Structure 1
């Protein structure tokens, strides 16, 4: 049976700013030692899925995460600035505690002063993923290495959630991934897995579809 196209939305490994609970946004922070180990482990796992293509944000933490996959597959990585993390304005480099204390109202709405609106993030990231997925063969698999907020908004947009329901999707942990599958009715994408760190068991046997 045809599986249709699939997309693995893979968050980058840990950075020092992740460990310090600092808002990274588009500041170009590299992976730390833990993040490099996470990327190597996850890269070996995802290589077993035999992806047809790999695309990544051009920020180092995502690009180096993607590199840990393609060393096992022989692919090259395509880079797309549309996959960058949400720009955080005045919050970039600030800790969560600083943000809560200095911008309590904006924090409650999760709207960084001078930052990028979530709807804009969803538009550009989902468009970047759709561009890459369009080149897949009929049952092809795409791996997208990107960032937590960027991927969360892209997934919500791609599966058709309205903005007032985006919060139902939980965050992605460092180096975990979510999987989208092509809907059998041709109506776009559906969420098959979310925030996973192990490979799915196939086939899935169920009365559901």
Structure 2
């Protein structure tokens, strides 16, 4: 066995349903999201996680706490697992963003938002930092956000930026599994835990198709 990372996206929020860019805005889980977190916890508990760390935003932290309470494991918090910052886009719907910033919307780059390369670097660095604290056969659960996790996974796998869109988005309370091998990290599962369904996220639209 070698150490693994489960990258778990938070449960649903009202802004997810309304397709509003959440970014660093601290939006709580809605009723569906709370139920999703409980279901994910019941499934992931069987993997016997040895460490849980989450974003400091409540939608991710509350999702992580559902698992932590079930398996009696403390949840650490690291703001480096926050979602991609959206600047002036935060709180706006996709339609509103497209109408006001058509060129930036096409590139999915908020004028004063966080560049994807910066997000990828901070999330992957945090993943490596926390994974180094896990025993060789341990399991780290990282509870974070759709765009942050997808970008961090791409960086951790060493994919060139032009290939990042090839990795699809994560549904609410779905997860990806990474395993460390002799040649680095590899992706074992992606967007697991649910049947195919629409993904409402801060991520680039093409990544959610």
TM normalised by structure 1 equals 0.91
Q: 2:187 aligns with which of 191, 195, 202?
A: 191
Q: 2:88 aligns with which of 87, 90, 108?
A: 90
- 3-state SS in 1 of match to 2:52: strand
Query: In structure 2, how many angstroms separate the alpha carbons of the residues matched to 1:162 and 1:93?
Result: 31
Query: In structure 2, how many angstroms separate the alpha carbons of the residues matched to 1:9 and 1:122?
Result: 14
CA RMSD of aligned residues (A): 0.7
Q: Establish whether residue 168 from structure 1 lines up as the match of residue 166 from structure 2.
A: yes
Query: In structure 1, how many angstroms separate the alpha carbons of the residues matched to 2:103 and 2:183?
Result: 38
Query: In structure 1, how many angstroms separate the alpha carbons of the residues matched to 2:104 and 2:61?
Result: 30
| Correspondence list, 1:38-187, <5 A | 38-183=36-181, 186-187=182-183
Q: CA deviation at 1:187?
A: 2.1
- 3-state SS in 2 of match to 1:182: strand
Query: In structure 1, how many angstroms separate the alpha carbons of the residues matched to 2:24 and 2:30?
Result: 17
Structure 1 unpaired stretches of 5+: 199-209
Q: CA deviation at 1:26?
A: 0.3
1:28 counterpart residue number: 26
Query: In structure 2, how many angstroms separate the alpha carbons of the residues matched to 1:188 and 1:134?
Result: 13
* Residue-pair matches, total: 194
Q: CA deviation at 1:102?
A: 1.1
2:2 counterpart residue number: 4
Structure 2 unpaired stretches of 5+: 195-209
- 3-state SS in 2 of match to 1:132: helix
- 3-state SS in 2 of match to 1:113: coil
Larger Rg computed on CA atoms: 1
Query: In structure 2, how many angstroms separate the alpha carbons of the residues matched to 1:77 and 1:131?
Result: 16
Query: In structure 2, how many angstroms separate the alpha carbons of the residues matched to 1:197 and 1:35?
Result: 14
Per residue, is there more helix in 1 or in 2? 2
